[in-house]
Amino acid sequence: MANDGSGIGASLLRKEDERHLHGRGEFVPDIKLPGMMEVAFVRSPHAHARIRSISVPPEARGRVFTAADLPRIKPIRITVNAAGAKAPAWPPLATDKARYVGEAIAACIAPSRGEAEDLANAVAVDFEVLDAVVDAPRDMQGSRHPVHEQWGDNLYVERLVEGGDIEAAARAAEITVSRQFRMQRQSGAPLEGRAVLAYRDHRLDEVVVYASTQTPHTVRVALGEFLDIEARCIRVVAPDVGGGFGPKARLYPEEIILAALALQLDHPVRWVEDRGEHLLTAAHTRDHHYKVTAYADRQGKILGVDAEIVVDAGAYGLWPQGPYQEAAMAARNLPGPYTIANYRARHFTVATNKAPLGPYRGVGRPGACFAMERMIDEVARAVGRDPVEVRAENMVRSAAMPFTTVGGMRLDNGDYPQSVRLCAELLDLPAVRARQQKGEPDGRFVGIGFAAFAEQTAHGAAEFVARGAAIIPGFESCTARILPDGSVVLMVGIQSHGQGLETTLSQIAAHELGIDPARISVRHGDTESTAFGFGTFASRSMVMSGGAVARASRMLRDKLCRIGAHLLQCDPAQVRCAEGAVLGPQGSVTIAEIAHVAHLRMDGLPPGVDPLLDATATYEPAIGTGVFSYATHGAVVAVDPETGFIELLDFAVAEDCGTMVNPMIVEGQIRGGVVQGIGTALYEEIPYDEAGQPLAGTLADYLLPGAAELPAIKIGHLHTPAAATEYGMKGMGEGGAVAPPAAIANAVRDALAGIGAEVNETPITPRRVLAALQMAREAAANP
């Protein structure tokens, strides 16, 4: 159907904006109910300690709830399908042992949060402090006090990914380059933390749980399992959610505890996470260690890569997928968009006395991209060639696609080398090189760096089965309903929290039905009004939910056409849906008129056609291994050798995500992702000390990127529609966050090339830059 300015390909302005621009959004903390009590938690101040006793002052009895006071709650259990993987049960309120700072021990209720915190402070817990496991590579094979003592070691799982013959590659290599890389632990840090409000609805015989989550339907599944109640008696609602980015795509103990309190106390309870709790206890992310060796020929053609990857996954695995994804995805994605034939990656997922690791924009891939793209630059330097050329030459060519990488990723289509060239153009590479030649008047060093990746998106059942996943989020659903007046409601199983899906999904239905998107509402984030779906994560909602909307809309369109043709007294093959009507060879009938017949005047229906305009469809892309967006990111930096301070002068993205439903929203997602990636590269870090104490508990210690330190982000597009999805869409929500750490580190390396310094750890803080400069100067002085 032609693009009429509001369908697929149009930068339609967002439906979501109006309420937020007037402060009328509805986030969980904005909801108040009569009789509602606020919850604060008693949390462990120790990383690793046995709980000897919990004493509640007599005046606080009945207002403080330990695990013993909430017998309904069962421990969180992860299903594991991979042999040898360990999955510790996790009591939502700690019973015998606390395993990270911030682990919940008791819930306290009071009319205000301040009073609830007063109660929490009055609870005394007697601890026997144990040694904390904080150094994953050192402690993975064992420690004095293992995190889960029955294991003996501290390993969730250990695996090998292999392809080709790495020993042969090593023998054939003319160049061998080895490096170690580290991507530190960080937080997802959506601006709104987590929040839960729960109450009992006696009329409907259900517990209603409002939660700031990306996955309401699976949270309902989990609540049923861990509270032992039927799903029909649980409603989960994710209203406006103030950013998710992955950490809110998992079940949390607090959701179970609040639901249990509501069931037991029979009055509404609300918990609104504060920033300290968020930084301590909401899923952490990244925390990768790499040892990588690349084997290449004299031209920089990479023959093989040998890697060891250690992921510090924290004390427990988050439901549903456990702690295993991060290292496995890093290992499978390390070969990136390249033709590398020989590969070996041993990867380890390690339990430590830190907060559980969960998904965050990019999952596994920012670390893998950081390691691989730094290696590409080092190989290029070792053979004395420009990294831009070596990068492009090692990439998979269009003609070779679909191409399955040695890591097992099936790259579907695209022109990868062109993204490198386009990115170099966007940054005006020759001008940067000329500037470097001239030197800076202030003594700083300017550098330019690039990093490329291919991002698996919208993967279906095949991918999740291959991963041994506990649940298989391989489809999405949509119920499309036309109401008696001809207006449309789309009820979808995903959750939109900034992605603009209320707008883009209506664009798809508008495209299929020929109805103005202004007459289409999108309902999401509520188990009551939507068919089951998995939620919004893994760059999947536009492709998967969009596909379901397309299918359900087409089912309605067929019925509209049958009824319309009957009313127009012609054959259904002679009509089409457009301009809010069914158009026939002679005359037309509006969708409102057809809807009127379908609901209120069934005597006008053709024989054999049932009343109602209501269709539910599911959708899984035709290829279950994912469709791959790809991009090259480029950064220009100025590094001050005196202070180690890095100024980001310019940043560009050259990307291809297939067909863009709404280019304005695509670019918004890219820029937002890039700035989160810049946060990983330069600012964000949650260090732990030897005792397992987290050292970033406020936004004064945990630095988020602000407007003042960022350039405008440039974007260039390539367009290679996917063959396996509706309209050729590819997912793209995460890619922005994948490559900035690598691109910036390569730019810093380029800036400091004259001194021979490199920084292979994120965030690249001034302290780390100065340390690298010191090391390079010492090496130069003592060759």
Q: What phi and psi values does residue 624 have, to the nearest 5 degrees?
A: -85, -5
Residues 172-191: x where in contact with other proteins by CB under 8 A, - otherwise, as a string: -----------------xxx
Q: Which of 191, 188, 178 is nearest to 366 (CA)?
A: 188
> CB-wise, 57 or 114, nearer to other proteins?
114
Residue 706 CB, shortest distance to other proteins, in Å, is 5
Among 171-179, 329-337, 368-376, 664-672, which window interacts with other proteins (CB under 8 A)?
A: 664-672
Distance between CA atoms of 726 and 716, rounded to whole angstroms?
A: 23
Residues 733-772: x where in contact with other proteins by CB under 8 A, - otherwise, as a string: ---x------------------------------------
How does strand 175-187 pair with strand 761-762? parallel
Which parts of 292-321 interact with other proteins (CB under 8 A)?
none
Residue 713 CB, shortest distance to other proteins, in Å, is 6
- Which residues, 6+ apart, have CB-to-CB distance to 610 below 8 Å? none
Residue 192 CB, shortest distance to other proteins, in Å, is 5
Residue 274 CB, shortest distance to other proteins, in Å, is 6
Residue 114 CB, shortest distance to other proteins, in Å, is 6
Residues 340-379: x where in contact with other proteins by CB under 8 A, - otherwise, as a string: ----------------------------------------
Distance between CA atoms of 380 and 665, rounded to whole angstroms?
A: 36
The number of beta carbons lying within 10 Å of the beta carbon of residue 687 is: 12
> Which long-range contacts link 580-588 to residues 24+ away (Cβ below 8 Å)?
580/486, 580/514, 580/515, 580/516, 580/519, 581/514
Which parts of 680-719 interact with other proteins (CB under 8 A)?
698-700, 704, 706-708, 710, 712-713
Structure tokens at 520: 């289409």
Residues 464-503: x where in contact with other proteins by CB under 8 A, - otherwise, as a string: ---------------------------------xxxx---
- Tell me the residue type at 562: R
> CB-wise, 375 or 522, nearer to other proteins?
522
Residue 512 binds other proteins, judged by CB under 8 A? no
- Is the Cβ–Cβ distance between 355 and 102 less than 8 Å? yes
Among 25-33, 151-159, 202-210, 630-638, which window interacts with other proteins (CB under 8 A)?
A: 25-33
Residue 32 binds other proteins, judged by CB under 8 A? yes
Establish whether the linkage from the previous residue to 320 is cis, with ω within 30° of 0.
yes
Residues 213-252: x where in contact with other proteins by CB under 8 A, - otherwise, as a string: ---------------------------xxxxxx-------
Among 12-20, 169-177, 217-225, 438-446, which window interacts with other proteins (CB under 8 A)?
A: 12-20
Residue 588 CB, shortest distance to other proteins, in Å, is 33
Residue 547 binds other proteins, judged by CB under 8 A? no
Classify residue 104 as exposed, middle or buried by CB count within 10 Å of its CB (0-12, 13-18, 19+): buried
> CB-wise, 16 or 255, nearer to other proteins?
16
* DSSP three-state, residue 60: helix
Q: What phi and psi values does residue 593 have, to the nearest 5 degrees?
A: -65, -40
| DSSP secondary structure code for residue 342 in this structure | E
Q: Which of 186, 44, 42, 40 is nearest to 101 (CA)?
A: 44
Residue 146 CB, shortest distance to other proteins, in Å, is 35
- Identify the residue among 27, 127, 151, 645 touching other proteins (CB under 8 A): 27
Distance between CA atoms of 47 and 353, rounded to whole angstroms?
A: 5
Q: Which of 753, 759, 756, 717 is nearest to 741 (CA)?
A: 759
Which parts of 580-639 interact with other proteins (CB under 8 A)?
none
Residue 24 binds other proteins, judged by CB under 8 A? yes
Residue 668 binds other proteins, judged by CB under 8 A? yes
Distance between CA atoms of 104 and 92, rounded to whole angstroms?
A: 7
> CB-wise, 499 or 625, nearer to other proteins?
499
Which parts of 273-292 interact with other proteins (CB under 8 A)?
274-275
- Is the Cβ–Cβ distance between 362 and 249 less than 8 Å? no
* DSSP three-state, residue 522: strand
- Strand segments, DSSP code E, in 297-336 are 302-314
In sequence order, what DSSP letters do the residues of 202-216 get, joined into one string? TTTTEEEEEE--S-H
> CB-wise, 185 or 749, nearer to other proteins?
185
Structure tokens at 456: 């698996």
- Identify the residue among 35, 84, 114, 687 touching other proteins (CB under 8 A): 114
Residue 647 binds other proteins, judged by CB under 8 A? no
- Is the Cβ–Cβ distance between 449 and 744 less than 8 Å? yes
Q: Which of 444, 168, 157 is nearest to 328 (CA)?
A: 157
> CB-wise, 710 or 753, nearer to other proteins?
710
Containing 183, the helix (H) or strand (E) segment is strand 175-187
Residue 19 binds other proteins, judged by CB under 8 A? yes
- Identify the residue among 163, 356, 672, 735 touching other proteins (CB under 8 A): 672
Distance between CA atoms of 568 and 563, rounded to whole angstroms?
A: 9
Which parts of 401-430 interact with other proteins (CB under 8 A)?
none
Residue 727 binds other proteins, judged by CB under 8 A? no
- Identify the residue among 112, 121, 141, 180 touching other proteins (CB under 8 A): 112
Place of tokens 């990983």: 680
Interface residue list for other proteins (CB under 8 A)? 13-14, 16-27, 29-30, 32, 112, 114, 189-193, 240-245, 272, 274-275, 497-500, 664-665, 667-668, 671-676, 698-700, 704, 706-708, 710, 712-713, 736
